[in-house]
Structure 1
Amino acid sequence: MVNVINDRTTDYAKKVVSGEILASRKNILSCERHLRDMNLKVLRYHFDVERANRVIKFVELLPVPKTMENMELKQFQCYIIGSLFGWVDDEGNRRFTKGYISMARKNGKTLLLAGIALYDLMLGQEPKFERTVGIVSNTQKQATLAWKDAKTQLEALRVKSKTAKQGTKITPSVYELTNTKDRSVIKAFSREADNLEGELISTGIIDEAHLLKDTKVYEGIRRGQTFMENPSLYYISTAGSDLTVPFFDEYNYITKVLEGEETNERYFVFCAEQDNENEMHNPETWIKANPLLEDENMKEVLISNLQDDISEGVAKGEINSLLIKSFNMWRQDSSETYIQLSDWQKGYTDSKLDIKGRDVYVGVDLSRSEDLTALSFIYPTSDESYHVDTHVFVGTKGSIQEKSKRDKINYEKLVNTDNATLTTAESGIIDPEQVVSWLIDFINDNQLNVKAICYDPWESSYFVTKMEKETDHPLIEVPQNYRNLGPILKQFRLDVFEKRIKHNNNPNLNLAISNAITKMDNNNNMILDKKINRQKIDALVSLVTGYSQAMNHKFDREFEKFILSDDFGF
């Protein structure tokens, strides 16, 4: 008689792909990859069901910290843990050295975090001795909370098992759990301290990764893993409200991996989120962001609590916060946010506009010497919309690598596209003559009909003088003040909302929209505000500057002309 092994990991994937379990688009793609890869003979990894089940069984021995009762893992939890530990190569090394695990709050994240940490402490083999499992978060307090959950579960194991008690040690004073047999530890770290330096963290678990403002934690962990054969790094977090943090970059990257735009066989993704905002009003879809709803015993309570959260959030006008926390959707949660990135993306089109011979409005934002200079182009189209694009000139003073890291744009890669140009000046300072020459060549090469070149008068004398000498294009000064920019900013935002602004996902514009914050004067006029130097909005400033004239463009209304012509009649 053949002993059939229950594959709880793959069972979940099959139910998601078949539609038996409703899931987010990203998780459908994740499950499709799992099933597809199991049938790929050329893949250098295979799925070890017994190994996956062994880890699942271990985690199910751990009590839930809040109730101290053992709980059978839900199907989605089996899929996550089984995937992370079950996919291996022929030598038994884990396939997934990196994991992105995200879901709405109160969905059993702690059980996953503690389970992964304790398994690697007690039974891990990578490396065989002196493993360091690092639980890292934005603050020591947050990291300590997660560590305390693992401590509570280890204490319960020590009560049940004499072997576990003899082989482990708990040192609360320094936040360490120790496997005394092989000298492995679980430690809590904070990005606030320098204690990551010098640590060889074999398994790094970054808790609430959306709170980290820079990549120091990630880089600190990865430096320590340089010479390890099979290290692991896991992000376990909800979505956030700051679209400039590294975890949002990670979110965009895993989207490309799942969509097949990027290839990364060693990155596991589980991202439970609503696929659109309207689903907030449809409880049947809430399992997409709240996978714990698969538990029928908890479903009624969870839905009731979510309904209460929605009612309260709507009453208080806190929809963004609700979408972030309860439905795991990235949203700019600021009353000063100029345009939501989600609204901006509604204007995305993958069709390229043929700009040859077109009318164009040009906006110019001249930079500080080591900063960015941005040129934006606004093309009125036949459907009374505007196709917009931007080109930036990048100063290299202080190294292009540091600038790429600071702005979170790979400028070295970007200059190989039509979106950016590096300065040719040896000093690394942007050369205004290079900007003028590029702009003139671009206009001439594409036979553009320039309706206006709009510029900020700040330090623009060279640019204006040079353009006046070499061209006859109309130059229009656009002062950057509340009175002048307020109406322009409001009209541009309205046209974005009405989907009259089309674009091809220019990364410079996407970054600028993500960073754009407004401030108001006493007359309720707005202006764009740069809160910190890293947050680049140069591309948007140049675009809005050009829009000051483009917004008044006289579209060629053929039907209107026909109605008013002598040829029209009944």
Structure 2
Amino acid sequence: MTVDKAYKMQRDDGIYDSIADKYRDPGTVYAFQVLEGEVLAGRDIKLQAFRHLQDLARAESNQGDFPFHYSLDKCREVLGFASLCPDPTTGRPLPLALWQKALLCWSQGWRNENDERRFHRVIFSVARTNGKTYLTVILLSYQYLIASAHFQNQDMAYIAPVSQQSKKGWRYVKTTFNRLRHNQFGDWMRKNKVKVGEESVKSNTSQNQLLRLSDESGQFDSYHLAFSVHDECGDDGRIGLIKENNGKITSGQVQTFDSQSWNISTAYPDSTSSLFLDEKMLRNAMIHDDQRALDDNLLVNYSQDSEDEVSKPDTWIKSNPLLPTAGKTMLDSMTSERDTKKNDGSISEFINKNLNCWLTVKENRFLNVHDIHNAVSETPPIDIHGQTCYIGIDLSKLSDDTAIAFVFPYQTSNETHYWIEEHSWIPLNHTAGNILTKEKQDGINYRRAEQLGYCDIAKNRWGYIDDDSVVTWLADYIETNSLSVKFICYDPWAISDVLDELNQVNKWPMMPIRQTAHDLDRPTHQLQKAFREGRIHYSDDPIIQYSLTNAILVGNSAGLKVDKERYTSKIDCVDAIVDAFSRAIYEYSDINPDFDPASVKKDPLSGMSDEERHAFLMNVSF
């Protein structure tokens, strides 16, 4: 099922007939245009358009478990303000494109039963030079002058990763408020004694304040922000504080009336960013529309559906929705930039920033993010019960995780594919038993992974992993699923105790794999190739995905192997997968990797012609 098919089924069943007659606002009109194909859009925008229409259908049918309604009055209010808000550069209001109006309507029009904004959290991502700054200024100005006008002691904020970035964005905010002071809102601002400064816009009457903040300052615990715009929040890979600060912002909004936080950004090279993971989470929620998860989160992501579209300028509207109104000049400039980047070898930067695609641009990255996530399968392609499997074990060293990987080779259409599973054990001995510190340090939500059955968090008071429990879990898993274990492949470093225990449980074939580039080069290349060819499959396991994202290639003249970029990066399950893969690749091969030519006696007839062989055999005496 695709979003296009789902929409057409609903449309043809008449689900949207009354909606099309009643709702003529830009948000609904745009949703219909996207799904009818009148506007070329990427998958995420199609999902949001479908979600909007589905939610309107739920609201119109008064479903008891859907406590939201779509207020056309609020749509008119925010659009009316936007038509008066001056552009920071030109000093006069600019006409908004339909997609920009739709974004404002979706975010401000949907309300809950208390008439608060439904979406407490909004993620908006678009390529560079698509009017993001103007929309940011409209949102902040609207919140201060309209949405918060009848309240007191309201805190609002414009946030950027570092102070220097926040100053640049704040200049636009200051310019806009100063121009509004001399336009329609001058009397109101003078009456409420609104002062526009370098750090805040503040009313001495209502005590409402709009603050300039940065992630590096970390001053979020003391505020209960009714509204915030977090600019360039995809830069978490470099800053490392954005996820933590977003948590402080949203936790402070729990008891704040009608609160809303915006995360606005283009895509960044580091796909371990919390924004990338949040986009993925919301995308999955929209795909499973019937489950109605994350009803108070909105994702509006303008992005290409594939990196291959870099060669198709007619599709760039997916990530650059301003193209139709910007004219031919913008497309010509982008095409020129694309060609320049292609010639100087930095085309990935164009794909990343100008087409708003997350990818890892480092040359030594093991896999790109699309290959990693394209391998995710909602349901296993095979029943593992009784299947042949290869097992890899990577034991904990210091603060590393212990990981066991299962590789199940199988064939489909005469092509070898691999189903992969893993289970990890998470030590807490280096974080004083604190799982929160461990999660922050590693960037993985281990508690959620444990709930999903992908890991066990150390429970003893010292935070160490119990090797006995690892062996017991493995033995039980093999027995429960009646697995046919060909090899248990392991890093021989510090595994002796576990090895002894495994041999006592069962006589499974054991294979030490030295962790050298010479020994790991072939399985590393074969695993990378299988990923790129779409022959690797695994469940939506956050530990596998995050570990693969962290993996880089290192090596020497002897070959390549995977490693991690930073000490805190986790690739333990990748190491275990590579170990298992070192033997799994031979399951359907005629090659015997353990064949030793020296063990076979030389054939005395080798090198002879047929005539010579015959003469030799005829002269053999007994």
Tell me if TM exceeds 0.5: yes
AA aligned opposite 1:241 = P
For residues 102-113 of structure 1, the aligned pairs below 5 Å read 102-113=125-136
CA distance in 1, matches of 2:283, 2:41: 15
Q: Residues 330-383 of structure 1: CA distance to partner in whole angstroms, max 9, x if unpaired?
A: 111211211112113333444422222222211110013654211111122134
Q: CA deviation at 1:183?
A: 2.1
Q: Residues 461-507 of structure 1: CA distance to partner in whole angstroms, max 9, x if unpaired?
A: 10122223332222121121222223331222122223332323332
What is aligned with 2:422?
390
Q: Residues 209-262 of structure 1: CA distance to partner in whole angstroms, max 9, x if unpaired?
A: 101224221122124323212211111111111121211111111102211266
Q: Residues 301-337 of structure 1: CA distance to partner in whole angstroms, max 9, x if unpaired?
A: 1111111121112112223221211111111121121
- 8 Å contact from structure 1 (residues 157, 164) kept in 2: no
C-alpha spacing 1:70/1:125, structure 2 compared with 1 (3 Å): closer
Q: Partner of 1:160: helix, strand, or coil?
A: coil
What is aligned with 2:172?
149
| 2:59 matches 1:27 | no
What is aligned with 1:566?
none
- 8 Å contact from structure 2 (residues 47, 287) kept in 1: yes
- 8 Å contact from structure 1 (residues 382, 555) kept in 2: no
CA distance in 2, matches of 1:493, 1:267: 35
What is aligned with 2:612?
none
Which residue of 375, 380, 402 maps to 2:404?
Answer: 375
AA aligned opposite 2:131 = G
Q: Which runs of 5+ in 1 are unaligned?
A: 558-570
Which residue of 271, 284, 297 maps to 1:256?
Answer: 284
Q: Partner of 1:429: helix, strand, or coil?
A: coil
Q: Partner of 1:382: helix, strand, or coil?
A: strand
CA distance in 2, matches of 1:339, 1:219: 30
| 2:93 matches 1:59 | no
The Cα RMSD (Å) is 2.4
CA distance in 1, matches of 2:273, 2:479: 40
- 8 Å contact from structure 2 (residues 279, 299) kept in 1: no
What is aligned with 2:209?
185
Identity over the aligned pairs, expressed in percent? 25
Q: Partner of 1:188: helix, strand, or coil?
A: strand
CA distance in 1, matches of 2:302, 2:568: 30
Which residue of 523, 534, 556 maps to 1:499?
Answer: 534
What is aligned with 2:324?
294
Larger Rg: 2
CA distance in 2, matches of 1:168, 1:73: 30
For residues 266-305 of structure 1, the aligned pairs below 5 Å read 266-295=296-325, 298-305=326-333
Which residue of 584, 596, 602 maps to 1:550?
Answer: 584
What is aligned with 2:35?
17
Q: Which runs of 5+ in 2 are unaligned?
A: 1-21, 592-622
Q: How many aligned positions are there?
A: 550
What is aligned with 1:560?
none
Name whichever of 301-310 and 470-479 sits farther off: 470-479
| 2:391 matches 1:362 | yes
C-alpha spacing 1:346/1:55, structure 2 compared with 1 (3 Å): closer
Q: Partner of 1:183: helix, strand, or coil?
A: coil
Name whichever of 123-132 and 239-248 sits farther off: 123-132
Q: CA deviation at 1:6?
A: 6.3
C-alpha spacing 1:497/1:52, structure 2 compared with 1 (3 Å): same
Q: Residues 142-187 of structure 1: CA distance to partner in whole angstroms, max 9, x if unpaired?
A: 12222211111111112224415524544434x2122344222221
C-alpha spacing 1:256/1:457, structure 2 compared with 1 (3 Å): same
AA aligned opposite 1:395 = P
AA aligned opposite 1:257 = A
AA aligned opposite 1:525 = G
What is aligned with 1:37?
55
Q: Partner of 1:291: helix, strand, or coil?
A: coil
CA distance in 2, matches of 1:265, 1:148: 34
CA distance in 1, matches of 2:193, 2:582: 68
What is aligned with 2:503?
468
CA distance in 2, matches of 1:474, 1:411: 31
Q: Partner of 1:459: helix, strand, or coil?
A: coil
AA aligned opposite 2:366 = Y
| 2:200 matches 1:200 | no
